[in-house]
Structure 1
Amino acid sequence: MALVRTAMLLAAMTALFGLAGLALGGEAGMVIALVIAAGMNLYAWWGSDKAVLRAHNARLVTKASAPDLVGMVEDLAGRAGMPMPAVYLVDDDQPNAFATGRNPENAAVAATTGLLRALSREEVAGVMAHELAHIRNRDTLIMTVTATLAGAITMLANFAFFFRGGRDNGMGILGVLATMILAPLAAGLVQMAISRTREYEADRIGAEIAGQPLWLASALAKISGLAARIDMNSAERNPGSAHMFIVNPLHAHRHDNLFATHPATENRIAALKAMAAGSEGAGPARPARSGPWT
């Protein structure tokens, strides 16, 4: 199913590239845009995870540099029966986290330094288990591809604004205006293409991996409250990656409306509390190794 959704999304984005090329340079522009889109599709498939990590200035950490976090992820991955992903830190005050990678064998989880400062070990374990669930469900493939292509579409819109159409292009000023309008609409399509049900499913599976649904419920409440007051500059510069985070980093879409990238946090917490009420006595995973966060 992930492969089918990804193929449909790539086809839609490729068509949008072609229309933008037609608006900017006529039939020749459309051909050039389609060639560029084909190249970007390949790049998005194989390299979008690295692009997203670079966009947020994520740095790779190891057991030597961050023993508590890496040890926690290793323990949770073992509990989930999946390969150990690479672990990254993002130096940002906003508490948040995301996962990326085209499959469980080539995946990474990233947490902000603000997350480690604001949350308890148990809460961090709940968040990391949620991100591992995304990897195990292969959500990360379509998440990373869409983040890369959304940024490319924004770039095309900027070109449209700069060139403002011309006498020789295929659709003139009307085509350029259409391109400028389609760019934000494309961002909405990206958000809708990634079903918000994946968040509920990742919450459920993450809670099973961690062993305690209330760890993640508590984490979501803290992250949502703090993220609403603390800006994440890298996310503001790269809004196409907002759907990858456990909580929307852009301070928008608080409700379960059509264009929201995430379900309402209150609804997610309620689902986790209901899950906890129905699974009392589940054995928790070990949330972290002893000692301070490093």
Structure 2
Amino acid sequence: MLENWFKTTILMAGIVVLFGAIGATLGGGQGMLIALLLAGGMNIYAYWFSDQAVLKMYNAREVDENSAPQFYRMVRELAQNAQLPMPKVYLIDEPQPNAFATGRDPEHAAVAATTGIMNILTERELRGVMAHELAHVKHRDTLISTISATIAGAISSIAQFGLLFSGGQRDRNVHPLVAILIMVLAPIAAMLIQMAISRAREFEADKGGAQISNDPTALAAALKKIHDYAHRIPMDTAEQHPETAQMMIINPLSAGGIKGLFSTHPNTEERIARLMAMAR
């Protein structure tokens, strides 16, 4: 828990420094001040509202025991196994099988699954997946995951903010190469931040999920199925907002282009091998 709070603090502080530096480069003292205010406001928004922003982005609809009784009861049983408060439960109308967890702490957590995953997995496999997501909640990964997704999207657009601002500064002479360099490197920096956050925690969530469900082979089978289907069925929202990909249990993005160079998830075969070793 302390480690994740430390990472979150470092991430937020780093964003303030990055925004300030770019603001100063492109807009001088006034640009730095505006960028610092923007970074501070974004950090506050990310902490309190980023989970709802991501759920809204995916048009997730909340379900309960009346609208999705079997699924809701499954999550409730797993949450009890994990000694967690009951999270809110959401469904996303997407054919690609995938799932994620969000929320700033276990008391304000939510888990979401696509309709595709409900159709493709067996009940045992789905239990394994939702146990994995609840392990993220228990490990308090969801705060830094959701904040990094929100901030990464903002980093990707910071160069446009800087260029617009610098365009109005007649007394500043920003070299075009500097502006282009920032525009290229900012999104890459965002992806590198998410890579550093995501890979190790997925192994830990697999291990925790296997313990919560007491069925590592079911989670292993689910990962294989999701991996196979996810690379054949596109998820348009994830493609439009690649910064949210690191929240999913399996990378939802197509492998083409620069996105394929920055995988936010560890190798699926290695994850399966570790789960099978637990089963043995």
TM-score, scaled relative to structure 1: 0.88
CA shift, 1:158, in A, is 3.5
CA shift, 1:159, in A, is 3.5
TM-score, scaled relative to structure 2: 0.92
Contact preservation (8 Å) 2:31, 2:165: no
Q: Which residue of 2 aligns with 1:100?
A: 102
Q: Which residue of 2 aligns with 1:218?
A: 221
Q: Which residue of 2 aligns with 1:18?
A: 20
Partner SS state of residue 105, structure 1: helix
CA shift, 1:27, in A, is 1.7
CA shift, 1:168, in A, is 3.7
Gaps of 5+ in 1: 278-294
Match of 2:269 among 257, 266, 269: 266
CA distance in 2, matches of 1:195, 1:117: 27
CA distance in 2, matches of 1:39, 1:163: 18
Residue by residue over 1:85-136, the C-alpha shift from the partner in whole angstroms, topping out at 9 and shown as x without a partner, is 0001111010000000111001000000100011111111000000000000
Contact preservation (8 Å) 1:103, 1:135: yes
Q: Which residue of 2 aligns with 1:43?
A: 45
Query: Which one-letter code corresponds to 1:245 in the other structure?
Result: M
Paired positions, count: 274
CA distance in 2, matches of 1:162, 1:215: 51
Contact preservation (8 Å) 2:79, 2:134: yes
Query: Which one-letter code corresponds to 2:105 in the other structure?
Result: N
Residue by residue over 1:218-270, the C-alpha shift from the partner in whole angstroms, topping out at 9 and shown as x without a partner, is 000000000001111111111111111000011339xxx99431100000001
CA distance in 2, matches of 1:152, 1:159: 10
Does the C-alpha gap of structure 1 residues 164 and 173 become closer, same or farther in structure 2, counting only changes over 3 Å?
Answer: farther
Give the % identical residues. Answer: 55
Partner SS state of residue 102, structure 1: coil
Partner SS state of residue 96, structure 2: coil
Residue by residue over 1:140-198, the C-alpha shift from the partner in whole angstroms, topping out at 9 and shown as x without a partner, is 01001101101111122334566785644463423311320222222233223305111
1:229 is aligned to 2:232: yes
Q: Which residue of 1 aligns with 2:149?
A: 147
Q: Which residue of 1 aligns with 2:4?
A: 2
**Greater relative contact order, per chain length (Cα 8 Å cut-off, separation 6+):** 1
Query: Which one-letter code corresponds to 2:252 in the other structure?
Result: P
Q: Which residue of 2 aligns with 1:171?
A: 174
Query: Which one-letter code corresponds to 2:276 in the other structure?
Result: K
Does the C-alpha gap of structure 1 residues 122 and 170 become closer, same or farther in structure 2, counting only changes over 3 Å?
Answer: farther
1:33-182 matched pairs, under 5 angstroms = 33-160=35-162, 165=167, 167-169=170-172, 171-182=174-185
